[in-house]
Amino acid sequence: MRGPRRRLPALPALLWLALAPLPGAPGPAARAELRVRVRLPGGQVTEESLQADSGSDCISLELRTADGALVTLTADFRQEVKIFRALILGELERGQSQFQALCFVTRLHRNEIIPSESMAKLRQKNPRTVRQAEEVRGLEHLSMDVAVNFSKGAQLSSHIHNVCAEAKEAIYTREEDVKFWLEKGVDGSMFEVLPQTSDLPDLQRCKLCADRWKPCICSYSLSIEWYPCMLKYCKSRDAAGKVSSYKCGIRSCQKGYTFDYYVPQKQLCLWDEET
């Protein structure tokens, strides 16, 4: 039986970023922060904090899930890198530490999320409103078959050093994303291909593995419940009748991810036996 739930440290207090454009253009390195109330699938309400920095061309989002895990998404537009971090509550009575940290690094595609410059221009409306995403995007199932060396990760994205500091031995990516980054000139020595089923015929999924000390393929799922995925455009007509369009808001999305990755022992993947 699982022990009582413990809570991770509280989210830092943040200012509000927004859902309507601010008048005028921001400076060359505009920064903004916000907190949004969102509803989780089970009906609970949680707060997401979002930050945008157009100077470093980066957006980050953080929320606490229904089971108490703290999930962070960092989008580094400059390097075309997306970083997911999960701080998962440990089970002390089963020999785990207070929390377990994981980092999953994938390629960031354009149009997945609104640009940092646009995010930094937003301001909050109705801060007490509980928001639900306008669009639910399909679940993405990713096989994370490569480990990333933390000490060299800054060459891939400078944000890895801060975001993944608690997950130094648990940073994962995909071989197909590695190929993309290698073509951009990233140093390949930071990547190490992980054992696969073809290498270890006895390698099972952790949920099927009876021995807590055997290696297995772990699965971890997370969901970003609300994020600004697209810009909305409105039209205006001037005195001469000429029509022009301008950014007038955002469209929000929800998206889930499941990551499969190798662990040297099932003890590092105890949640998988409950799914």
pLDDT (tens, 9 = 90+) of the chain, 275 residues, equals 444 444 444 333 222 333 333 334 444 567 888 888 998 888 889 899 999 998 999 999 999 988 889 999 999 999 999 999 999 987 666 666 678 999 999 999 988 999 998 888 877 777 788 988 999 998 999 999 999 999 999 999 999 999 999 999 999 999 999 999 999 999 999 999 998 877 787 899 999 998 989 999 999 999 999 999 998 888 888 878 788 887 777 889 999 999 999 999 998 998 876 54
How far is the C-alpha of 70 from the C-alpha of 89, rounded, in Å? Answer: 9
Transcribe 192-220 into DSSP letters: EEPP-TTT-TT-EEGGG---TTS-EEEEE
> CA geometry: angle at 108 spanning 138 and 25, to 5°?
105
Residue 32, both tokens:
């903004």
CB atoms within 10 A of CB 227: 25
**Which residues, 6+ apart, have CB-to-CB distance to 201 below 8 Å?**
none
Model confidence, pTM: 0.83
Helices of type H across the chain = 116-119, 160-163, 175-183
Beta bridge partners of 105: 83
Residue 159, both tokens:
């944000």
